[in-house]
C-alpha cells in the first residue's frame, strides 16, 4: 500500500501529515492510514496536529467511490463519519493546519477539530456537496449546525457556498488565517501552548461540551446507516 500518511512525534505534540501527491482525497486507503495514525497519536497522549500537503488539505471523499453509489459509497461514508467523531472526541486537543483547499468531507474535518488555522490565498473551503449532486449526510448536518455560525448555516450547507480564508473564519470553519509560510510554525506554537493544559481536565470538559452534539451524531448515524456503522 502506498504511504499516504506520516506520523512524527515531537516533545509536546504529535504531527500527522496527509499527502497523496494530489488532492488528499479520503478514499479507503487514506482513511485506513489515518485511523492507524490516530491510534498511534492517541497512545502518545499528546496534543495532535494534522496537516495536508501544500495547497491541499483535503478535497473530501474519493468521488470515484461516491459516484458509484451502493455498498462502497455507504462504507466510505461510514468510515468518514467515524473519523469525524473520533477527531471530535480525541482525548487531547486537535489542531488542524489547513494547508489549502478543504472541501466536502475535508471541510467536515475542520468542524471536528478544536483549533483550525488556514492560509490566505485563492484556496476554497466549504461544503460543496449540493453543488456536485450529493445530499449532505445527516452527520454532516449536525456538525455544521453545531460548529458553523448560525447566520451562515443556510448559505454554507443548503446553498454550498464556498469561502476564502477570511470568510471561513467568519463562518466558523477556521479560527484564524495566516500566510502560507507561517502556517506550520503557528500550528506548532498553538500545540505547544495547548500542551500546558491539564489533559484529564481537558478530556472531561470536552466530553461535557460535546455531549449534546455526540447525542445528535448518534441519532444521525442511526438515520444514515440504519443503526449500525461499519
Q: Is the pLDDT of residue 151 over 70?
A: yes
Using alpha carbons, list the distances in angstroms from residue 80 to 107, 116, 213.
Answer: 12, 19, 17
Nearest to 209 by CA among 105, 55, 93, 128: 93
Q: Is the pLDDT of residue 228 over 80?
A: no
Check if the beta carbon of residue 143 is closer than 8 Å to that of residue 84: yes
Q: Is the pLDDT of residue 169 over 60?
A: yes
Q: Is the pLDDT of residue 77 over 90?
A: yes
Whether this prediction's pTM lies above 0.85 is answered by yes
- Residue 30 has φ and ψ, to the nearest 5°, of -60, -45
pLDDT for the residue 1: 76
Query: If residue 165 lies in a helix (H) or strand (E), which one and from where to where?
Result: helix 165-171
- Residue 160 has φ and ψ, to the nearest 5°, of 55, 40
| Mean pLDDT on 128-137 | 94
| % the chain with pLDDT above 90 | 95
Q: Is the pLDDT of residue 230 over 60?
A: no
pLDDT for the residue 229: 46
pLDDT in tens, 11-63: 999 999 999 999 999 999 999 999 999 999 999 999 999 999 999 999 999 99
Domain boundaries, the chain: 5-183+194-225
Q: Half-sphere exposure of residue 6, counting CA atoms within 13 Å on the CB side?
A: 8
What does the block give as the cell for 115?
Answer: 483549533
**Mean pLDDT, the chain, as a whole number?**
96
| Mean pLDDT on 132-159 | 97
Angle (CA) 111 116 121, round 5°: 110
Segment among 4-8, 68-72, 127-131, 219-223 with least mean pLDDT: 68-72
- Look up cell 478535497; give the residue: 59
The SS3 call for residue 124 is coil
- DSSP character at residue 61: B
Query: If residue 99 lies in a helix (H) or strand (E), which one and from where to where?
Result: none
Q: Is the pLDDT of residue 145 over 60?
A: yes
Check if the beta carbon of residue 109 is closer than 8 Å to that of residue 58: yes
pLDDT in tens, 85-102: 999 999 999 999 999 999
Would you state the CATH architecture of domain 5-183+194-225? Alpha-Beta Complex (3.90)
| Mean pLDDT on 116-122 | 97
What is the pairing mode between strands 13-18 and 47-51? parallel
Nearest to 121 by CA among 76, 68, 182: 182
pLDDT for the residue 227: 53
Q: Roughly how many angstroms between the first and final C-alpha of the chain, as a whole number?
A: 22
Amino acid at each position: 500500500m502506498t504511504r499516504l500518511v506520516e506520523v512524527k512525534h515531537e516533545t509536546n505534540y504529535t504531527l500527522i501529515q496527509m499527502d497523496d501527491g494530489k488532492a488528499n482525497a479520503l478514499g479507503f486507503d487514506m482513511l485506513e492510514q489515518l485511523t492507524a495514525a490516530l491510534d498511534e497519536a492517541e497512545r502518545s497522549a499528546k496534543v495532535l496536529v494534522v496537516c495536508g500537503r501544500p495547497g491541499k488539505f483535503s478535497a473530501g471523499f474519493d468521488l470515484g467511490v461516491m459516484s458509484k453509489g451502493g455498498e462502497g459509497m455507504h462504507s466510505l461514508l461510514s468510515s468518514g463519519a467515524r473519523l469525524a467523531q473520533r477527531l471530535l472526541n480525541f482525548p487531547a486537543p486537535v489542531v488542524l493546519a489547513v494547508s489549502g483547499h478543504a472541501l466536502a468531507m475535508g471541510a467536515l474535518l475542520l468542524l471536528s477539530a478544536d483549533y483550525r488555522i488556514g492560509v490566505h490565498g485563492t484556496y476554497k473551503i466549504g461544503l460543496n456537496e449540493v453543488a456536485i449532486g450529493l445530499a449532505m449526510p445527516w452527520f454532516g448536518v449536525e456538525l455544521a449546525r453545531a460548529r458553523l455560525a448560525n447566520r451562515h448555516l443556510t448559505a454554507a450547507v443548503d446553498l454550498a457556498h464556498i469561502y476564502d480564508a477570511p470568510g471561513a473564519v467568519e463562518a466558523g470553519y477556521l479560527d484564524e488565517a495566516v500566510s502560507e509560510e507561517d502556517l506550520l510554525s503557528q500550528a506548532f506554537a498553538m500545540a505547544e501552548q495547548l500542551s500546558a493544559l491539564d489533559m484529564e481536565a481537558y478530556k472531561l470538559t470536552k466530553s461535557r461540551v460535546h455531549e449534546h452534539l455526540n447525542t445528535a451524531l448518534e441519532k444521525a448515524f442511526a438515520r444514515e446507516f440504519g443503526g449500525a456503522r461499519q
